[in-house]
Amino acid sequence: MTVYLDKARGVWRYDFWRGGERHVNDCVDPDTGEPVRSRHQALKIERRAIVAAEAKIGKGRGKGVRPGSFTLAHAADLHLATVDGRHRVNVLGYIRELFGFLGAATAITDINTEDIQRYVAWAKKQPVRVWCGGSKRKADDPAHARYWRPNHIGPTPPRAPFKGMAWWDTTGTSVVMPQLIWDGTAWAPKGTGHFRTPTTINLYLDCLSGCFTAAHEHVDPATGQRSLPFPPRVTRLPEPKRRATPLADAELDRIEAVAPPWVTDAAELARVFGLRRTEALSSTIHWIDRAEGGLRLPPEATKSGDEEFIPAGPDGIELLDRLEQQARERGAVHLVTWPGPGGLARLQKAASGEEAPPVEWRPLREIKRAWRSAKANAGIPSDGRRRRVHDIRARFITEIASLTRSASAIQGAARHADFSTTQGYIEIADDELRAAVASSTGRRERRTNVVAIKTGTESHMEVPHGSRRKIKDTG
């Protein structure tokens, strides 16, 4: 829920979800019929609208707020206590949507299978949205919900020459979803069928299942009974199986040749050690374990939440030596750093002898945009393959899979918690091996021995190389 000032019109508006329906309108004082003038007054109007919406939901479903009951909000609070790390921000987003659809104050025992099916049907119609609020705003702040906008598919239209966003239809009350197109004057919504995938919906269902589990394990101190004796069954949607797409070495060489140095450093860490993108950008000189000869990843930096060690070969040791020396010369701790906005130009000026302000080397949060630019500059074709930084790690895993048949060794090198994920890379390695064998044997010429046989007249007979058939001398 949130209220915000529509600067284009100069009025306060509220925007919240209840029961799978979005409520958006101007904050108008019911006594005077005039728009309110402050945020405090707008919050009061929004609270009235929320109460009215929840009362409507409770009347239509025969459910609602029951004083003293164990609610979905209680269960979500218990579930959130079990989540830590970077995933906590994502879970907060899932909970916020579940509150908007099912109602935070709804008794947990009132939520049944039909409600879950209703939510799944609604979630399948939700468009994919992208964050358009920039880096200074927090994406998980409810006050910035309007900066999550439907994803644009296709050529990017020019910027809209107006203030505010055209999210609503001509009535100004309902929201039209999902995609924005250019109509000459402003962004106008239009649907394209690019909705949430089953994989994304399952993330929300897992969060709801976690809330049910937390409520089931909670015991009411007054009655000694479980707050949710019989949790509803949450069935995950079947997910399409994605095939790993290892990045070819030739393509990686072309990308690194035109990429910025910090992108190349991150790509090399992914190639030599099989690091994930976030792990490569988070790596520091303190991760280098000289005694064991490799990288030791702390628990807070790994996907599993456990400490992990990656042994280094000769190429890995050479790479670590170079990156550590580079970091110390720059006065940095991270192995992958960049000079900040405009820093590359300052470095070029300093190299040419011109006066330039000093450069402050800093860690990177993301390199996706620089990676896309490097792919374009390298002339990598757009043939449907994504060619992500993560695909460099896929190449690392498939190389390991091609060298050993031990499934446990491959899973250990890949650092996968689930073997089914590793199995996909093993299949890729097997396919590549078969293709290599077929290509090798296909190029080999058919070798024959030509033996002259004397009969009444001179003739020749081709005998396959290695044939055990004996040839009689008829001379």
Please report the pLDDT score of residue 66 as a whole number.
54
Please report the pLDDT score of residue 452 as a whole number.
41
Q: Is the pTM of this model over 0.85?
A: no
CB 301 within 8 A of CB 282: yes
Please report the pLDDT score of residue 387 as a whole number.
85
**Per CATH, the architecture of 249-439 is what?**
Orthogonal Bundle (1.10)
Please report the pLDDT score of residue 127 as a whole number.
81
pLDDT in tens, the chain (475 residues): 478 888 888 899 998 877 667 788 999 998 888 899 898 899 999 988 888 887 776 544 445 555 568 899 999 999 999 887 667 888 998 998 999 899 888 999 889 898 999 999 999 988 877 767 766 777 666 666 667 666 544 444 333 333 333 333 333 333 333 333 323 333 333 344 578 899 999 999 999 999 999 999 999 887 888 999 999 999 999 988 777 778 888 889 999 999 999 999 999 999 999 999 999 999 999 999 999 999 999 988 888 778 999 999 899 999 999 999 999 999 999 999 998 888 778 887 877 888 777 888 999 989 999 999 999 999 988 766 778 888 888 888 888 877 777 778 878 888 887 777 777 777 665 565 566 556 554 544 444 443 443 334 444 444 444 433 444 444 4
Please report the pLDDT score of residue 328 as a whole number.
94
Q: Where are the domains of the chain?
A: 2-217, 249-439
Please report the pLDDT score of residue 54 as a whole number.
75
CB 301 within 8 A of CB 310: no
